[in-house]
Amino acid sequence: MPADYLPILVMVVVVVAFAAIALTLSAMTGPRRPNSAKLAPYESGMPPFGSARRRFSIKYYLTAVLFILFDIEIIFFYPWAVLFRQLELFGLIEMGIFIFVLLIGYVYVWRKGGFEWD
């Protein structure tokens, strides 16, 4: 059984060796001419303003969590679609319950104003 993992081990060794060689060669042969423009921090090509520790609106986090929540729930549709014929009526009823729960959550967030872009 361990012999089955030998190709994976060889691949990991080759990848690590390649990465180490590439990083070492680029550090040894690359030019080192630091100046104030290269060492200045930037954000999207613009000079930064304010502190990096400023507070963000809770709407930002709410939007991110809602996106992840609904995005991950969509992922559950794929295995169901693949096994739809094998699951028959049971799978259809279970997915209907799942979609109903999603719909309740969607309506709740909608009524609470979670989708408002102020």
Q: Determine if the pTM surpasses 0.75.
A: no
Domains observed in the chain: 2-111 (1.20.58.1610)
43 band by pLDDT with thresholds 50, 70 and 90: low
Distance of alpha carbon 2 from alpha carbon 8, whole angstroms? 11
Tokens of 30: 């690359």
Separation between Cα atoms, residue 115 and residue 118, nearest integer Å = 9
3-state secondary structure of 54: coil
Say if residue 10's pLDDT is above 90: yes
- Split at pLDDT 50, 70, 90, the class of 38 is confident
d(C-alpha 101, C-alpha 118), whole Å: 27
The average pLDDT across 42-56 equals 72
